[in-house]
């Protein structure tokens, strides 16, 4: 069983790479893949870069080169929900691309033409294993829709639009692209995100710069707890 692990930024991946036993590094294009053992499991880890396109390039390349059985996206997110607070964990039940919109043609907002769905379901087995790992760590966690788009959300009106349109609990910029690629390739996936900000007017200047590192560490801690058991 090979687990692919993707994070967007160095703060979301470097500490994981540092824990890998017998790491073998290979570069494809601008992406560095580190293959080895993490907590006794076979893993391949990559930093994809920020946004949906980089995330999709990375996920597709990882699938073609390493054929992982499942891919987990780890990192930080803004909360969209009153009940998911700073440094809580959001686990994807499904992912949506909140900036996908062909509604002028009569489609539902967020529908991905070709596969014709809005919500891309995450692996139920992974979701329950992640929640069990969060329980063991004594973390506060919630399972729900995670919304991705090529925007850092730091605006109350945008936050409410995404929450109300997609019933989403958290927003970030890569998870749905990775889910999209996994879906079309028949690969299991899930997104683990620790909340770094409230996606409101304070997000960019206050919460995110203060909490991003701690949130990234907590997402990584949950990932390693998941792999350990």
User: Based on CB atoms, which residue is closest to ligand ADE, 38 or 221?
Assistant: 221
Residues 11-40 that bind ligand ADE (CB under 6 A): none
Residues 172-191 that bind ligand ADE (CB under 6 A): 172-173
Shortest reach from residue 14's CB to ligand ADE, in Å: 17
C-beta separation of 19 from 45 below 8 A: no
Shortest reach from residue 77's CB to ligand ADE, in Å: 5
Shortest reach from residue 158's CB to ligand ADE, in Å: 9
Determine the straight-line distance between the first and last CA of the chain, rounded to whole angstroms.
14
User: Based on CB atoms, which residue is closest to ligand ADE, 16 or 153?
Assistant: 153
Residue 25: helix, strand or coil by DSSP?
Answer: strand
Alpha-carbon distances of 107 from 84, 102, 104, 111, 113, rounded to whole Å: 30, 6, 7, 7, 9
Shortest reach from residue 73's CB to ligand ADE, in Å: 12
Question: From the list 16, 57, 80, 203, which residue makes contact with ligand ADE (rule: CB under 6 A)?
Answer: 203
Catalytic residue positions, numbered: 12, 197
Whole-angstrom distance, CA of residue 211 vs CA of residue 229: 28
Binding of residue 76 to ligand ADE (CB under 6 A): yes
- Read out DSSP for 196-228? EE-SSTTIIIIIHHHHHHHHHHHHHHHHHHHHH
Binding of residue 222 to ligand ADE (CB under 6 A): no
Residue 122: helix, strand or coil by DSSP?
Answer: coil
Question: From the list 110, 208, 220, 223, which residue makes contact with ligand ADE (rule: CB under 6 A)?
Answer: 208
C-beta separation of 15 from 220 below 8 A: yes
Shortest reach from residue 99's CB to ligand ADE, in Å: 11
Residues 119-158 that bind ligand ADE (CB under 6 A): 152-154
Whole-angstrom distance, CA of residue 106 vs CA of residue 172: 26
C-beta separation of 133 from 221 below 8 A: no
Question: From the list 88, 97, 188, 197, which residue makes contact with ligand ADE (rule: CB under 6 A)?
Answer: 197
CA dihedral 68, 124, 150, 4 (to 10 degrees): -20
Binding-residue total with ligand ADE (CB under 6 A):
14
Question: From the list 96, 142, 169, 171, which residue makes contact with ligand ADE (rule: CB under 6 A)?
Answer: 171
Q: Closest CB to ligand ADE belongs to which residue? A: 78
- Which residues of the chain form contacts with ligand ADE (CB under 6 A)? 76-78, 152-154, 171-173, 196-197, 199, 203, 208
């Amino acid at each position: 069983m090979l687990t692919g692990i993707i994070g967007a930024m160095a703060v979301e991946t470097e500490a994981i790479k540092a824990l890998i036993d017998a790491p073998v590094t290979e570069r494809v294009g601008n992406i560095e893949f580190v293959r080895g053992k993490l907590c006794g499991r076979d893993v391949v880890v990559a930093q994809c870069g920020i946004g949906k396109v980089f995330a999709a390039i990375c996920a597709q390349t990882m699938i073609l080169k390493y054929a992982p059985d499942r891919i987990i996206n780890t990192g930080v997110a803004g909360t969209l929900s009153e009940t998911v607070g700073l440094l809580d964990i959001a686990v994807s039940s499904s992912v949506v691309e909140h900036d996908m919109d062909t509604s002028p043609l009569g489609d539902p907002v967020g529908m991905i033409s070709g596969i014709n769905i809005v919500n891309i379901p995450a692996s139920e087995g992974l979701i329950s294993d992640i929640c069990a790992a969060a329980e063991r760590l004594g973390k506060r966690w919630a399972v729900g829709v995670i919304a991705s788009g090529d925007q850092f959300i730091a605006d109350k009106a945008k936050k409410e639009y995404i929450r109300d349109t997609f019933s989403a609990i958290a927003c970030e910029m890569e998870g749905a692209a990775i889910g999209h690629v996994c879906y079309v390739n028949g690969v299991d996936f899930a997104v683990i995100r620790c909340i770094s900000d409230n996606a409101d007017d304070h997000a960019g200047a206050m919460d995110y710069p203060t909490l991003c590192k701690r949130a990234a560490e907590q997402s990584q801690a949950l990932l390693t707890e998941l792999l350990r058991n």
